[in-house]
Structure 1
């Protein structure tokens, strides 16, 4: 496997567990790399303690993410299916560790699209983008996607590459899918997953100051 060289200039995001880089040769792809243990911030919450006592739980999160992606895609082999989560393309070797290859949801100028969190902070979220968010939420419920972390920074607005062309603007869940809980309740039944999704949407509403209607399963400003 040829090794890709990722430079600090290609870093586009840095989360608790992973750093995200632009692919050096393909603007339509991103590479997520698990941070070394020594670079993790010291956290005293449950997840932080588990990271220290059972480092394998960090790999489990990635495994759950891929398992959920495969589950949804294998249920929908039709070529016109538009997954509400970002597509995943396997693993690549890099100079900073093994990377997960995923699609880049791009802004109008080809850069990485803005997250819901960024748009909320900057006051740039439009009504049409709220509708795009609602389309994604509809798809999560309709297809029974097990999404455990619907935080504002995991939704990205932008365009995906379809062959040699970019598609229309979408809202895409780029992280936080997969039943990563210690007790995989959301995997035990479709109705349990719906309850979990509804609860996650309530938290998302609190974090974005949007209003969540549990009956219509839609967000709005008022």
Structure 2
């Protein structure tokens, strides 16, 4: 019998509409994303909220799409030097809070959680170095044809990944929002459709962070 991971409310680090994110109780390099109980979700009147109420199984669709995109990308790039712009995923675990998805933790040098691009922009400390790291990640998202449907500023985290022998270099990682999660999977129709979707996402990301987006060069700037 598999023992459940015991998560504590004191280890809650983020709470979205669908999932809550906890520190892993035994591994400082991992996080645990737990699907929130339906009764705890805020009432939403948009399309996704209506679908959640009428068809509860659609709540699992985002998780399936996320894992499908991770698997698709990793299987397309088995090369040893592949540098994934999205966070690595390590399967599921039973927890006392519900089903948990294990994912990597992007950290500061002291082991604390790295800041999001959104938090840095809101605080007014979005440095040129962080913008350069974001541009590097955006470049790889385009290059590897990642289907990223929710590239909001709070889904990009700046920090270090565990390299297996210590912390890797500082970088920007898309930790959530990847996968073709839309009701009509337009981004899966072809690379051209995905590029159009990424272009639109980057324009919105620029508006939300006060940055400028150069669609030709596919780069952000002040």
TM-score by length of 1: 0.98
Cα shift at 1:108 = 1.9
Where does residue 208 of structure 1 map in the other structure? Answer: 209
Where does residue 46 of structure 1 map in the other structure? Answer: 47
Where does residue 86 of structure 1 map in the other structure? Answer: 87
Where does residue 139 of structure 1 map in the other structure? Answer: 140
1:16 and 2:17 are equivalent in the alignment: yes
Where does residue 96 of structure 1 map in the other structure? Answer: 97
For 1:98 and 1:176, how far apart are their aligned partners in 2? 19
Where does residue 69 of structure 1 map in the other structure? Answer: 70
Where does residue 28 of structure 1 map in the other structure? Answer: 29
Where does residue 196 of structure 1 map in the other structure? Answer: 197
Cα shift at 1:116 = 0.6
Where does residue 181 of structure 2 map in the other structure? Answer: 180
For 2:208 and 2:130, how far apart are their aligned partners in 1? 17
- Partner of 1:4, secondary structure, is coil
- Partner of 1:149, secondary structure, is coil
For 1:126 and 1:169, how far apart are their aligned partners in 2? 13
Cα shift at 1:164 = 2.5
Where does residue 58 of structure 1 map in the other structure? Answer: 59
Runs of 5+ unmatched residues, structure 2:
none
Where does residue 115 of structure 2 map in the other structure? Answer: 114
Runs of 5+ unmatched residues, structure 1:
none
Consecutive aligned runs of 4 or more in structure 1 exceeding 3 Å deviation: none
TM-score by length of 2: 0.98
- Partner of 1:158, secondary structure, is strand
- Partner of 1:64, secondary structure, is helix
Cα shift at 1:63 = 0.1
